[in-house]
Amino acid sequence: MSGFKTIEKQTNPSCFQPQSQSQPRYEIADVLNILGSKLENLGLNSWQLRTLSALRKCRTSALGGHIDACDECGNLSISYNSCRNRHCPKCQGKNREKWIENRETELLPVPYFHVVFTIPEVLNRLVLHQPKMVYDILFESAWETLQTFGKKRGLKMGMISVLHTWGQNLSLHPHLHCIVPGGGITQDGSWKNIRNDGKFLFPVKALSKVFRAKFCEKLKLQLSLKFDKNQTGNYENESENYENLRQSLWEKRWVVYAKKPFGSSQSVVEYLGRYTHKIAISNQRIRKIDAENVTFSYKDYRQKGIKKQMVLSHEEFIRRFSLHILPKRFVKIRHYGFLSSTWKRIKLKNLQQNLGIQPKEKPPPKVFQPKCSCCKVGNLVTIGTFDLRGPPTWFLEMSRNLAAPKSAI
């Protein structure tokens, strides 16, 4: 490591510490470790089990790791590799920041609205057996609903939508969080607001009715195709038959909620960033794990967001968490209209210039350079890697306050 001037500095023994105090005390992985082989008895499919296995191994010796040296104080430390699974509560930070940076280059000086599309609970049983079909219909119906209202005004709309499938208590509650600019592109390529004051999008009651009609129409078509192919699954005589579902769907109140516009376009992306890489429950919400149960906090929105705690058995906690493991390769963040990748690649810069702002180039990929947890000043530089067999002997000796052999550095 020529030029690495600080390796010869005396290693501070206090730097060999367990996890930071800022890290949560309990993790989902702790519950998975307690259950062990019992996971096989929870009735989960192979993809769910594979995902849970990744979360269980994340940042443990099972995935190997690397040895880092601080370029300031010379401290040596190890870091275990991440699973990078999108359902892992420990692997979303970098993805979220990267997504936010890319979206910031696409902002327009126009009002933005946060719109939420929710489907009724009567569909939950169908979601359990046909999640991809129902979630795809949810995306398509929400976008076609906005398109319908935009076309009446001669506008091409845009939308960024993120799928969430959970409620605060880990129940199944599929809904879309959407960021919708409060206007659209006219036929001559210019921008036009829905309203001059920028304080209103579309009537939510009208949105709800059109959304319900679009969704039911698509659901009826998809279920009829499955019947034609004799792939009706477990609901041949029950709720997978659209005629049995139809009355319940049209009797239920469908909810579309549109919040007031954001204060600035910059706050739009920061706000949506809370939702893009969120998972069903974070480790910070887990308050206690004992031999039998898991205790976690949640907000009861039926009582104005009062904070409460829920106690579930290990098996029930993981069963509920697994409800929100998305199908393999399912795209949970989608861009539509003039916010789609094809449109943005060709025309976005011209639109930004017409609206009086200077287009921004996407920032180059950042090299992740973690800070030293010992001196809090230096950057960590990787000087070696290891597999599941663990760190090399020389590092283990150093962690016992023995000098590392020069050949290792």
Q: Is 220 helix (H, G, I), strand (E, B) or coil?
A: helix
Please list, in sequence order, all residues whose beta carbon lies within 8 angstroms of the beta carbon of residue 329, skipping any fewer than 6 positions away.
none
- Alpha helix positions (H), 277-389: 314-322, 341-354
- Specify the DSSP class assigned to residue 330: -
DSSP-based three-state secondary structure for 188: coil
Paired tokens of 28: 């989902």
CA distances from 61 to 65, 225, 388, 391, 397 (A): 7, 48, 5, 9, 18
- Which DSSP state fits 96? H
* Of 276, 294, 290, nearest in space to 28 by CA: 294
Structure tokens of 300?
A: 């009861």
Asked whether the beta carbons of 101 and 184 are under 8 A apart, the reply is no
Among 175, 178, 177, 172, which residue's Cα sits nearest to residue 324?
172
What six digits make up the tokens of 29? 């992985």
Measured CA to CA in angstroms, residue 312 lies from 27, 288, 296, 336 at distances of 15, 11, 9, 39
Buried b (16+ CB within 10 A) or exposed e, 141-165: bbbbbbbbbbeeeebbbbbbbbbbb
CA torsion 148-152-158-162 (nearest 10°) is: -30
Residue 213's CB: how many other CB atoms inside 10 A? 16
Q: Comparing C-alpha atoms, which of 282, 274, 219 is closest to residue 249?
A: 219
d(CA 374, CA 252): 57
How many CB atoms are closer than 10 A to CB 360?
Answer: 13
Q: Which two tokens stand for residue 15?
A: 């730097």
Q: Are 370 and 379 in contact (CB under 8 A)?
A: yes
Task: Give the CA distances from residue 63 to residues 33, 50, 383, in Å, rounded to whole numbers and listed in that order.
Answer: 15, 14, 18
- Residue 98 sits at φ, ψ, to 5 deg, of -65, -40
* 266: three-class secondary structure by DSSP: helix
H helix intervals, 191-262? 204-228, 242-251
Which of 297, 1, 256, 270 is CA-nearest to residue 112? 270
Q: What is the pLDDT tens value at each position of the chain, 409 positions in all?
A: 333 333 334 444 445 444 444 678 999 999 999 999 999 999 999 999 999 999 999 999 899 998 888 988 888 888 899 999 999 999 887 788 888 888 888 888 888 999 999 999 999 999 999 999 999 999 999 999 999 999 999 999 999 999 999 999 999 999 999 999 999 999 988 999 998 777 889 999 999 999 999 999 999 888 877 655 555 444 444 444 677 788 888 888 898 998 887 777 777 777 777 788 889 999 999 999 999 999 999 999 888 889 999 999 999 999 999 999 999 999 999 999 999 988 888 888 888 888 888 877 776 766 677 888 888 888 988 888 888 887 877 777 666 654 444 444 4
Q: Cα separation of 313 and 308, whole Å?
A: 17
Residues 6+ apart with CB under 8 A from 304: none
